[in-house]
């Protein structure tokens, strides 16, 4: 099928984002998925139609009224407001590029109302859920090998106690861990923020990392890859599919609604609950913009807030 001019320009946009702006593979894939959806819902989209408000309002209407089949076979209508904002952000980036490169004169998206998103769902893991996950991974589940048990338990604990992103975890090398200084270095090339940061590690986490590294060294495969976390079957790094398979298994078998990014929310919520300053939380999380760090503050529990409120008086105002 022949591409129309809008699709050809999108390919140019992607190349610029990849080779000039240095966009990460996940970011590029997000752009591809968003535009693929646009042409699926509006196959006749072209440079003229995307400059009209009616085109975008109609697209959003289709997105919210269409019925689709989920992976579990169930029918679902529409998308969440947060998902709508994600698509809108990707489309908006491309539209701004079209204006900047003088392919179009008007970008009507800023004139169209955005949906309101309320973050009322609890995304952090409770203490009970954390204990349940660790118990499952360490003792309850029968892993195929002792190496898998050790590796997966270490990964789970590392996610919970450092709040690292998925790509950061997969990008760690043996040199990322400094045993003497008890630190873990996240390289900018693997981080969403493109900033290199050093995370101090708890003693209990260092113990697990040391145990895993011994198991890695003693493995029959005799790994030569420099990746910190490795496949249990081949001499290669643990990949995205392997980590997703692990996360899905934990979710299905542990009884906890687990996904990797929940650990990041948990880490931030626990830091806030301990009274860690915004600037320190921002640094530990690897955020460029403190406003992003503040979003994670919504996850602080009422009981944690109560402790902070109790400190206000501390007996000074007794009559």
Look at residue 119 and tell me if it is in a domain: no
Beta-carbon contacts of 185 under 8 Å, excluding residues fewer than 6 positions away, are 175, 176, 178, 196, 197, 198, 199
Counts of helices then strands in the chain (DSSP H, E): 13, 5
Domain end position, chosen among 47, 76, 111: 111
Report which of 241, 239, 238, 236 is spatially closest to residue 222, judged by C-alpha positions.
236
Same domain for 145 and 287, yes or no, is: yes
Q: Are 172 and 273 in contact (CB under 8 A)?
A: no
CATH number at residue 221: 1.10.443.10
If you ran DSSP here, which 8-state letter would residue 183 be given?
E
Same domain for 107 and 140, yes or no, is: no
Beta-carbon contacts of 85 under 8 Å, excluding residues fewer than 6 positions away, are 114, 115, 117
Domain end position, chosen among 67, 84, 111: 111
Q: Is the pLDDT of residue 23 over 50?
A: yes
Q: Is the pLDDT of residue 72 over 80?
A: no
Look at residue 272 and tell me if it is in a domain: yes
Q: In this predicted structure, what is the pLDDT of residue 301? A: 60
Q: Are 206 and 179 in contact (CB under 8 A)?
A: yes
Give dist(CA 222, CA 203) in Å, integer: 27
Q: In this predicted structure, what is the pLDDT of residue 304? A: 58
Other Cβ atoms closer than 10 A to 222: 8
What average pLDDT does this structure show over 29-38?
Answer: 94
What confidence tens digit (pLDDT) does each residue in 94-134 have? Answer: 999 999 999 999 999 999 999 877 654 557 898 999 999 99
Q: H or E element: which one contains 177? A: strand 177-178
What confidence tens digit (pLDDT) does each residue in 273-317 have? Answer: 788 888 888 888 888 888 877 777 666 666 655 665 555 555 544
Q: Are 42 and 59 in contact (CB under 8 A)?
A: yes
Q: Are 143 and 250 in contact (CB under 8 A)?
A: no
Same domain for 71 and 213, yes or no, is: no
What average pLDDT does this structure show over 37-43?
Answer: 94
Look at residue 257 and tell me if it is in a domain: yes
Same domain for 26 and 144, yes or no, is: no
Q: Are 254 and 133 in contact (CB under 8 A)?
A: yes
The range of the structural domain enclosing residue 83 comes to 5-111
Give the residue with greater pLDDT, 140 vs 76: 140
Q: In this predicted structure, what is the pLDDT of residue 317? A: 47
Give dist(CA 171, CA 153) in Å, integer: 18
Look at residue 139 and tell me if it is in a domain: yes
Confidence of residue 256 (pLDDT cuts 50, 70, 90): very high
214: its two tokens: 């011994």
Same domain for 47 and 134, yes or no, is: no
Q: Are 258 and 132 in contact (CB under 8 A)?
A: no
Same domain for 268 and 150, yes or no, is: yes
Q: In this predicted structure, what is the pLDDT of residue 302? A: 61
What share of the chain has pLDDT > 90, as a percent? 66
Q: Are 105 and 99 in contact (CB under 8 A)?
A: yes
Look at residue 314 and tell me if it is in a domain: no
Q: In this predicted structure, what is the pLDDT of residue 300? A: 61
What average pLDDT does this structure show over 139-162?
Answer: 96
Look at residue 122 and tell me if it is in a domain: no
pTM over 0.75: no
Q: What is the number of domains present in the chain?
A: 2
Mean pLDDT of the chain: 88
Same domain for 168 and 32, yes or no, is: no
Same domain for 141 and 222, yes or no, is: yes
What confidence tens digit (pLDDT) does each residue in 188-206 have? Answer: 887 777 788 999 999 999 9
Q: In this predicted structure, what is the pLDDT of residue 319? A: 47
**DSSP per-residue string spanning 269-291:** HHHHHTT--HHHHHHHHT-SSHH
Give dist(CA 215, CA 151) in Å, integer: 8
Q: H or E element: which one contains 132? A: helix 127-135
Q: In this predicted structure, what is the pLDDT of residue 225? A: 96
């Amino acid at each position: 099928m022949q591409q129309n001019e809008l699709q050809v320009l999108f390919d140019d946009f992607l190349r610029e984002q990849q080779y000039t702006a240095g966009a990460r593979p996940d970011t590029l894939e997000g752009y591809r998925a968003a535009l693929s959806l646009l042409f699926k819902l509006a196959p006749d989209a072209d440079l003229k139609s995307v400059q009209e408000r009616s085109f975008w309002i109609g697209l959003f209407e289709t997105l919210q009224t269409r019925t689709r089949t989920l992976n579990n076979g169930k029918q679902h209508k529409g998308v969440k407001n947060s998902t709508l904002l994600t698509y809108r952000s990707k489309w908006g980036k491309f539209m701004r590029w079209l204006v900047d490169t003088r392919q179009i004169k008007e970008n009507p998206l800023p004139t169209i109302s955005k949906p309101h998103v309320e973050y009322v769902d609890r995304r952090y893991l409770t203490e009970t859920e954390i204990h349940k996950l660790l118990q499952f991974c360490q003792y309850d589940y029968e892993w195929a090998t002792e190496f898998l048990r050790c590796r997966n338990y270490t990964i789970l604990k590392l996610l919970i106690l450092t709040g690292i992103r998925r790509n950061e975890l997969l990008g760690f090398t043996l040199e990322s861990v400094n045993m003497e200084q008890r630190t873990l270095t996240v390289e900018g090339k693997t981080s969403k923020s493109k900033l290199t940061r050093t995370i101090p590690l708890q003693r209990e986490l260092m113990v697990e990392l040391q145990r895993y590294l011994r198991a890695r060294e003693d493995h029959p495969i005799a790994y030569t890859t420099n990746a910190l976390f490795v496949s249990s079957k081949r001499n290669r790094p643990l990949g995205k599919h392997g980590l997703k398979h692990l996360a899905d298994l934990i979710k299905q078998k542990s009884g906890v609604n687990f996904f990797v990014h929940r650990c990041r929310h948990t880490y931030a919520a626990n830091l806030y609950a301990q009274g860690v300053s915004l600037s320190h939380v921002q640094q530990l999380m690897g955020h460029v913009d403190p406003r992003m760090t503040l979003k994670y503050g919504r996850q602080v529990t009422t009981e944690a807030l109560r402790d902070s409120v109790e400190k206000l008086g501390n007996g000074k105002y007794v009559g």
